[in-house]
Amino acid sequence: MYYFLKAMHEDDIPRVQEIERQSFSAPWSANTYRRELSSPATSRYIVARSSPSLPPDEPIMPYVPRRSLLQTLLPSVFTKPQPVSPFPLVGYAGLWLMVDEGHITTIAVAPSQRSQGLGELLLNGLIDQGLDMGATRLTLEVRISNESAQKLYLKYGFEPSGTRVRYYTDNGEDALIMWTDVITEPSYQHRLSELRERLALRLQRQAGMVE
């Protein structure tokens, strides 16, 4: 199977919410996602899709619309229906820009598709979106108990920098705050390109493209 990233579109929200319900105890509403998608200058959402054959070679964000206020208020009048994608949505992730900080808001892979490198693929997509928007560092909060996600973040240079006590209202769990170093620095870029080479090889092997 091949995997590739695209911008999240409103039509993706029902499937995103399906994965969200399987992944998080306090899922976001469809309206929250719609709101997030309406401000592409400061908020970027991507999805990972799967394809049994080599996918179309297009940039990730070719169709992020810039909306006027009226378009945001009356999306159904202005939004052109997107052709239904033939490629199943298997994961998604999002990032907000605050001044020059990229805040990772969410990342999830469908349970049946985990441990194949898709979390990494999505995180790489977010790092690219952060760089594109001018972020110099990235940050996120993660549940203290979520060791698999923390390992993913540590692999990409996020370091623990404190906790937010009882941050998660559903069970009162603490959040671990993590930050990267400056992502535009040569040292981070070097580490990133090594990780990307390894990930590309892993995904190519899984797709049967290389031995």
Ligand X SMILES: CC(C)(COP(=O)(O)OP(=O)(O)OC[C@H]1O[C@@H](n2cnc3c(N)ncnc32)[C@H](O)[C@@H]1OP(=O)(O)O)[C@@H](O)C(=O)NCCC(=O)NCCS
Q: Which range of residues in 25-33, 73-81, 116-124, 164-172 is near ligand X by CB under 6 A? A: 116-124
By the 10 Å C-beta count (0-12 exposed, 13-18 middle, 19+ buried), 109 is classed as buried
By the 10 Å C-beta count (0-12 exposed, 13-18 middle, 19+ buried), 47 is classed as buried
Say whether residue 161 binds ligand X (CB under 6 A): no
**Distance (Å, whole) CA 116 – CA 99:** 33
Say whether residue 119 binds ligand X (CB under 6 A): yes
Say whether residue 21 binds ligand X (CB under 6 A): no
Say whether residue 120 binds ligand X (CB under 6 A): yes
Catalytic center residues: 141, 153
Backbone φ, ψ for residue 47 (5° rounding): -130, 150
142, 176, 178, 183: residue in contact with ligand X (rule CB under 6 A): 142
Q: Which is nearer to ligand X, 22 or 68 (CB)?
A: 22
> Least separation, in Å, of the C-beta of 98 and ligand X?
18
Please state whether 112 falls in left (phi above 0), alpha (psi between -120 and 50) or beta.
Answer: alpha
Say whether residue 72 binds ligand X (CB under 6 A): no
Say whether residue 146 binds ligand X (CB under 6 A): yes
Q: Which is nearer to ligand X, 36 or 120 (CB)?
A: 120
Say whether residue 17 binds ligand X (CB under 6 A): no
99, 115, 165, 208: residue in contact with ligand X (rule CB under 6 A): 115
Q: Is the four-CA dihedral 118, 146, 143, 168 of positive or negative sign? A: positive
Q: Which is nearer to ligand X, 35 or 151 (CB)?
A: 151
Q: Which range of residues in 30-38, 62-70, 143-151, 160-168 is near ligand X by CB under 6 A? A: 143-151
5, 46, 107, 176: residue in contact with ligand X (rule CB under 6 A): 107
Say whether residue 36 binds ligand X (CB under 6 A): no
Residues near ligand X (CB under 6 A):
23, 107-109, 114-120, 142, 146, 148-149, 151-152, 155
